[in-house]
Structure 1
Amino acid sequence: MLTQNTTSSAESRRTPPETQVSTAEVAATAPGGIKVIRRNGKLTSFDAQKIAVAVTKAFLAVEGGAAAASAAVRSKVEAITAQVESALTRHMVGGGTLHIEDIQDQVELALMRAGEHKVARTYVLYRDEQARKRAAEAAKAPAVVRPGINVKLDDGSVVALDEARMRRLVTEACAGLSGTDIEEVVAAALRDLYDGIPETELSQALTLAARARIEKEPNYTYVSARLLCDAMRHEALKFLGLPETRPTFEEMKAVYPDYFRAYIHKAVELELLDPKLALYDLDALGRALLADRDGMFDYLGLQTLYDRYFIHSNKTRFELPQAFFMRVAMGLAMNEIDREARAIEFYTLLSSFDFMSSTPTLFNSGTLRPQLSSCYLTQVPDDLHGIFGAIHDNAMLSKFAGGLGNDWTPVRGMGGYIKGTNGKSNGVVPFMKVANDTAVAVNQGGKRKGAVCGYLETWHRDIEEFLELRKNTGDDRRRTHDMNTANWVPDLFMKRVMEDGQWTLFSPEETPDLHDLIGRAFEVKYTEYERLADEGRIKNFKRMPATNLWRKMLSMLFETGHPWVTFKDPCNLRSPQQHVGVVHSSNLCTEITLNTKADKEIAVCNLGSVNLPRHIGANGQLDLAKLEKTVNTAMRMLDNVIEYNYYSVKTARDSNMRHRPVGLGVMGFNDALYKKRLPYESEAAIQFADESMEAISYYTIKASAQLAIERGAYSSFKGSLWDQGILPIDSIKLLADNRGQYLQQDASQSGRFDWAALRTQIQTTGIRNSNTMAIAPTATIANITGVSQSIEPTYQNLYVKSNLSGEFTVVNEYLVNDLKALGLWDEVMAHDLKYFDGSVQQIDRIPAELKDIYKCAFEIDAKRLVDAGSRRQKWIDQAQSLNLYMAQPSGKKLDELYKHAWLSGLKTTYYLRTMGATHAEKTTIQDNRLNAVGNAGAGKAGGASAKAAAKPAVPVAAEPIILPTLEAGSGSAKVCSILDPDCEACQ
């Protein structure tokens, strides 16, 4: 279970039961000399072993001595202790201090995550009881004058604690934020101080004091971020040798211009930034910095930037937030005529959070190697030189932070004849194993793991072995535990499944043209090859009922999370570029659909996302004027990437310069629904998905057409669908003509936009980019901007997110604000949310309207996610990263869901996320103890209220699909974890 922050509610909840060790005992040998601050202010050494003793006694208090002695409990204690120690010490390699309350908070969190709710509840209640006792004793005791606290500065000198400055920092941090208490934060921070505390720990104490209160009041996430800024400012200004190194938030406004100039020159001197940046008018750019925007970050966003994005020298970060955005903007404006004006325009957009460039652009813009592109698609040819050449390309592209999609279909299947050696092929799997290990060896610039997805068409002879690549059992030499995999599914296969027909697997050296054929042409040729196989003229083939292979695909998807299901024909029949090539695969995250060809075309895409909720007006309507302005600037930025970009492989550069594809996407869709007061499952929300995407599509295509007037059309424009006057919405007819009865996709327009005039303009003056839109996952840039990811439903309304920057409490601010307005937000409600995994469905006192609006991802009918995706797909010339959530999957449900996705015209799907068995069990708990508030305690506690699956409109498999049995209690733990701290694949 994911529940609360590492330092939550430190003042209000207190000490474990008497049967447990006291928190003062949680001390002794720890890495890096970590110390524990006791309640009396004394320091003791951290001792992880005493955590184990405390946890053991916690179990003893609830379950008795026999239970505590069992092997099962000992195993739980070991796991919980390791989790607590890791959470407390992961960022304290060089030493530091922890307060007793922080350790207790982590123990409580670990117990809740482990599903030990009775133990955790007893722990919480006893801490509350002890806190009240201490408060009562303190009230009776005579006042004690706190001894003076001295602070050890960075230079070794010692000065008296400046409480006035502390209070000023907190006052500025709380400015404009309701529900925050200056004195409460200051008092909590003073509690954690001791005489001789280093300056860095003093700043950390303030930040953590605010961070501990995020659950009680979400606005403390902004307070925490602003206090974190104080430490960042000191680190940066000191490194640059500026005279003022400890400005407050307000004082920094006057310092930013001088800092910015010094920062650029120092970064150029250290060879961290391109010397061309120093040629800008740095005074003008420094004056353009909007220091107030440092206050827009929440804690997770700013900490993520600090840990992973800011320029640093020997781990000293000297890039501050507004300098970061300006540095990115300067890189993107490098080739503009009026560089300063464009840099300020780009900076203003980025720093407003209205639009955010993708992670590679943020990482590398303005650096000596500006590799700004997000995605690369390659094709692996069927010869040894070509195969290892493609793997070499993978390594080079991954080195500079690119996600990869590899098309492996051309490689001959197992048993295929090798003319050069008169032998037989081992098939595609051994080579994919090499590609997998290459991705592990060459990470993305040392900043995140290398990430690659291998694609294989469903008719390939090795498809059955391909389906098993991610299994945890079997020959490990035929497993790719680190590589994502995806099925590239032709429409003909889906028709055979629907009609209960046969399916034949071929080796591509015997059927070489299938790979490049689409639609009816594919069907004709495939049928001919089946006839040749029947006549004995094709030897290496295998035939089976199509439904058998379909069952195995869905079974593996449930068991391993792979391969993803992506559809070849809609990607090609609706591709604007079908006149010059074929889309053979998608990318790492299934949203890019660009042509590839071995040795000639490595497709490249540059991404960025519109922050949708920031374009919802106070009236709840989409602000079209603001959206158009945002899209115009964003498209210019994306187009600028193409010339400015560093290409580690020439083929990628040639392809990108020829076709100039970009992918403008969207994030914060669910936040926009909250602003509009729409439940994700509602018909109005589906309609909003349609209308908002139409607006983005219109303005994006129009912006690219305007760029073509200024800069010229892309070179392969002639003959494209654009050239023929066929826009994305029009291309649905091309798919329908090939599909016949098997397409149920809305193709209507709203009438709000002049599409006819836009078609005429493009046919007359062209369009700048062959492809313009793609919806990426946006995991990290959504964190930076503080909105929900991409088009995802809210995962949970309160949870702890783990990533490479640590663990962070995430609270749904919209829900909390609604509960406050109803007088329902209190500590008990926070406990309820934690107890029910962030779900509101079983909390009786929450009104039904809010329960509908604030359903979590696993409480939403997955078919409604597909319906919304289908409406968006109407308008997009590429695809979308569409995760599907299913709380209690079954073979029948998966069969219906993925057929529905195909029939709805989706081009691709992404992860299937399923809920672990322990979570599913909790949604039917009949225990109302945490739900009892006043007279509400006798209320009902039903299960999760997700919609029942709609009756399927299409035939299901002739026989039921039996999903594999997983280990007890594991649910589908092998499926992609949303909160895996080591996974940055889609961020």
Structure 2
Amino acid sequence: MKNMTLEKKAIVITENQSKVIKDKYLKDEKTVEELFERVSHNIALSEIVFHPNSEKWGLLENVKARIIETNYDEPRSNKTILFHDGIGEVSDREKNFSNFLDNLNKIYENEAEAKDLVDTRQTEFYNMMADFDFLPNSPTLMNAGRDLQQLSACYVLPVPDSMEGIAKALTAQSLIQKSGGGTGFSFERLRPKGDKVKKTNGIASGALSFMQLFDKMTDVIKQGGTRRGANMGILPYWHPEIKEFITMKAKGKTMENFNVSVAIDSKFMKAVETNSTYDIINPHSKKAVGTENAKEIFNMMVESAWASGDPGIIFMDEINMGNPTPAISNIESTNPCGEQPLLPWEACNLGSINLSNFVTGEITRGELNYAKLEKTIETAIRFLDNVIEINNYPLVEIEQIVKQNRKIGLGIMGWAETMVKMGIPYDSHQGIKKAEEIMGFINKKAMEYSCELAKERGIFPNWKDSIYDSNSKYYKGNSVKPRNASRTTIAPTGTIAIAAGLQGSGIEPFFAIAYTRYNAKALDALKNGKAPERKDTFFEVNSLFKEIAKKNYFFGLDEKTLLEKVEKNHKAIRGVDEIPKNIQDLFPTAHDVSIENHIKIQGAFQKHIDNAVSKTINMPTNAKIEDVENCYMLAHKLGCKGLTVYRDGCKSQQVLNI
């Protein structure tokens, strides 16, 4: 039962916000207030789990659970609870978890102390979302308090070199995607096409053929009824099928449900620079089966990315340098958008702070309210940790590693709006320095509040032998005891950014000052040669530009004439003579920002991010192949963990059109 005593905040939203919230998140609810009540109440129920009286109140009545000892600075009675361990059937696991949720709600109704605790936290969570200061990832908004109760956006699944292992990965993919999650895979273990299979005396069909199975699985699943399926497929540069992998998406409509990336490292980049060869390794035999010239493979990657936007690149050694639990496993893959490197079977729930809401003062002269930001970081860390506890994980293996590492991904959105409000050009030296300054603050406070939460709830169970354990060979010099193995991520925030009323997703610049945005249904219509319905398209004019233009009497023009000039100028304002240069400088679009500055901004944020950064390096149609090459070299130099380039028009459908 939801908390009916909660005082609602009045929530004012635009037509486009209303469209996306209704399209993606409202089902039983009729209003955004009801949506945020449902989510905030459900996530606040997790507070009961950590109360010392929870078991006495009946938390585990009629629930099968395994308890894992949790580390504290001082001995405590609280434990980490696994609900799926030893329960084979999905239906039995769902029933068991449903009993747990029923117990939480009964305790909330019957125990005054529990009710007060939940109501207090719900108010904090609700107000944070109602002000659009913070929003969790879409699966949490869609599923919290509903039957699915699957709240994570990101999963990585292992793909072993066996039919049984591949079948298990396909089953896991289907369970995750039907409930709204995205999946990442490394196909590095699969033996190459033509390799002998001793058990059957047959011939292996190869890694790419099995990738097609995972792509087809996504085709037949509609995620949670509302989300398009998404996958990441990664293959390392040393795999025998690397050439076919690099070029497969440049050949037209293939693997459309996959982003693909080549895993490379500093050893490969050094070989590129010296025009050297390297060994191709059969992952089954672990033996060298040939050599390739690194520069030739690198050129293939560059040319294919220029032609089709795929593959991206993943600097896997950079990623594993930041792996907090290397004693468990190396990281081999990321989630579909690349911002969340994860161990096999690991999942992560994300949330983003709408940074533009924390700028106070007159537009273009604003200052960041660090006190308000710090309080929101504290509340968001608790919110995301609560999600881990009340999440119904689709598989036993996922619940085990998630609850023992407790990774979360707190990031930001609305960076472009933030820069306008502060009067700092997005692509200026000052803007890049400001990115380091603000993200450094967020990352530091996220660690502090995760450590504070650990004093209350316990350190993440896999802390021993982690990079934070001073007695471990993996120790990195920072002896801290956080609740969460990693804490910060920059996600693309596509849908939640629109829901928050933003035109700047994640840390991206504005795509255009006026544009048409297509949702998934509109893109499907375009693919089938049909005109999208109006309800599936969103026309937007940048609200901050509109406000500034109005204050400046539309720069001596009427509004219609001004927008016509913007329209003819590729929907950008840089280059419109009537608009003063200082205002032009504040509103660069994705194609106004130089390729070098795109990467410098990504690198600035990456310096203060535990996980990784999702950012697209936008290029104009006339960009050269050499531009992509220079991108990759600079990204490696600046310590980026991955990179995706997109040359305008290289794909037939785009989510945003100018």
Considering the TM-score relative to the shorter chain, is it more than 0.5? yes
Q: Is 1:611 aligned with 2:288?
A: no
**1: CA distance between counterparts of 2:360 and 2:47?**
32
CA positional deviation for 1:595 = 1.7
Alignment of 1:429-468 (within 5 A): 429-468=208-247
Alignment of 1:152-551 (within 5 A): 278=1, 280-282=2-4, 284-285=5-6, 288-290=7-9, 292-293=10-11, 295=12, 297-312=13-28, 318-337=29-48, 338-472=117-251, 479-511=254-286, 533=288, 541-551=289-299
Contact (CA 8 Å) 2:250, 2:310: kept in 1 or not? no
**2: CA distance between counterparts of 1:725 and 1:555?**
47
Contact (CA 8 Å) 1:408, 1:454: kept in 2 or not? yes
- The equivalent of 1:957 in structure 2 is none
**1: CA distance between counterparts of 2:633 and 2:314?**
12
Deviation digits for residues 895-917 of structure 1 (CA, Å, limit 9, x no counterpart): 1111101111001123x22223x
Alignment of 1:777-926 (within 5 A): 777-787=492-502, 788-803=504-519, 804=521, 805-823=535-553, 824=555, 826=558, 827-887=560-620, 888-910=622-644, 912-916=645-649
Deviation digits for residues 800-821 of structure 1 (CA, Å, limit 9, x no counterpart): 2222452222111222222223
Deviation digits for residues 932-974 of structure 1 (CA, Å, limit 9, x no counterpart): xxxxxxxxxxxxxxxxxxxxxxxxxxxxxxxxxxxxxxxx235
- The equivalent of 1:150 in structure 2 is none
Contact (CA 8 Å) 1:379, 1:407: kept in 2 or not? yes
- Tell me which amino acid in the other structure corresponds to 2:638: S
Contact (CA 8 Å) 2:264, 2:313: kept in 1 or not? yes
- The equivalent of 1:518 in structure 2 is none
CA positional deviation for 1:830 = 1.3
Deviation digits for residues 829-860 of structure 1 (CA, Å, limit 9, x no counterpart): 11111222211133211112222221211111
Q: Is 1:973 aligned with 2:651?
A: yes
**2: CA distance between counterparts of 1:460 and 1:801?**
38
- Which stretches of structure 1, 4 residues or longer, exceed 3 Å deviation after superposition? none
Contact (CA 8 Å) 1:775, 1:879: kept in 2 or not? yes
**1: CA distance between counterparts of 2:470 and 2:514?**
50
Q: Is 1:568 aligned with 2:316?
A: yes
Alignment of 1:640-655 (within 5 A): 640-655=386-401
**2: CA distance between counterparts of 1:625 and 1:470?**
47
**1: CA distance between counterparts of 2:651 and 2:331?**
33
Q: 2:440 pairs with 678, 690, 694, which one?
A: 694
**1: CA distance between counterparts of 2:272 and 2:126?**
51
Q: Is 1:559 aligned with 2:293?
A: no
- The equivalent of 2:417 in structure 1 is 671
Deviation digits for residues 865-896 of structure 1 (CA, Å, limit 9, x no counterpart): 21111121111110010110111321211111
Cα 1:281–1:852 shift into 2, 3 Å: closer
Cα 1:725–1:852 shift into 2, 3 Å: farther
Larger radius of gyration: 1
3-state SS of 1:609 partner? strand
**1: CA distance between counterparts of 2:509 and 2:574?**
15
Question: What is the CA RMSD across the aligned residues, in angstroms?
Answer: 2.0
**2: CA distance between counterparts of 1:822 and 1:308?**
37
Bigger drift between 792-801 and 502-511 goes to 502-511
CA positional deviation for 1:281 = 4.3
- The equivalent of 1:771 in structure 2 is 486
- The equivalent of 1:247 in structure 2 is none
CA positional deviation for 1:468 = 2.4
**2: CA distance between counterparts of 1:469 and 1:822?**
51
3-state SS of 1:858 partner? coil
- Tell me which amino acid in the other structure corresponds to 1:543: T
Deviation digits for residues 83-112 of structure 1 (CA, Å, limit 9, x no counterpart): xxxxxxxxxxxxxxxxxxxxxxxxxxxxxx
**2: CA distance between counterparts of 1:438 and 1:980?**
29
3-state SS of 2:119 partner? helix
- Tell me which amino acid in the other structure corresponds to 1:977: Q
CA positional deviation for 1:777 = 0.5
**2: CA distance between counterparts of 1:471 and 1:906?**
25
**1: CA distance between counterparts of 2:505 and 2:400?**
32
Contact (CA 8 Å) 2:518, 2:655: kept in 1 or not? no
Cα 1:393–1:573 shift into 2, 3 Å: same
**2: CA distance between counterparts of 1:724 and 1:673?**
40
- The equivalent of 2:382 in structure 1 is 636
Contact (CA 8 Å) 2:309, 2:647: kept in 1 or not? no
- Tell me which amino acid in the other structure corresponds to 1:510: S
Contact (CA 8 Å) 1:440, 1:449: kept in 2 or not? no
- Tell me which amino acid in the other structure corresponds to 2:23: D
CA positional deviation for 1:711 = 0.1
Contact (CA 8 Å) 1:413, 1:427: kept in 2 or not? yes
3-state SS of 1:856 partner? coil
**1: CA distance between counterparts of 2:218 and 2:142?**
19
CA positional deviation for 1:390 = 0.6
3-state SS of 1:469 partner? helix
3-state SS of 2:36 partner? helix
Contact (CA 8 Å) 1:485, 1:564: kept in 2 or not? yes
- The equivalent of 1:934 in structure 2 is none
- The equivalent of 2:89 in structure 1 is none
Contact (CA 8 Å) 1:418, 1:424: kept in 2 or not? yes
3-state SS of 1:632 partner? helix
**2: CA distance between counterparts of 1:434 and 1:496?**
34
Percent identity between the aligned chains?
A: 29
**2: CA distance between counterparts of 1:579 and 1:650?**
21
Contact (CA 8 Å) 1:577, 1:595: kept in 2 or not? no
- Tell me which amino acid in the other structure corresponds to 1:553: M
**2: CA distance between counterparts of 1:461 and 1:310?**
47
Structure with the bigger RCO (C-alpha within 8 Å, sep 6+) is: 2
**2: CA distance between counterparts of 1:801 and 1:655?**
38
- The equivalent of 2:73 in structure 1 is none
CA positional deviation for 1:724 = 3.6
Count of paired positions: 567
- The equivalent of 2:59 in structure 1 is none
**1: CA distance between counterparts of 2:45 and 2:656?**
37
Contact (CA 8 Å) 1:798, 1:837: kept in 2 or not? no
- Tell me which amino acid in the other structure corresponds to 1:468: T
- Tell me which amino acid in the other structure corresponds to 2:198: K
Runs (5+) with no aligned partner, structure 2: 49-116, 522-534
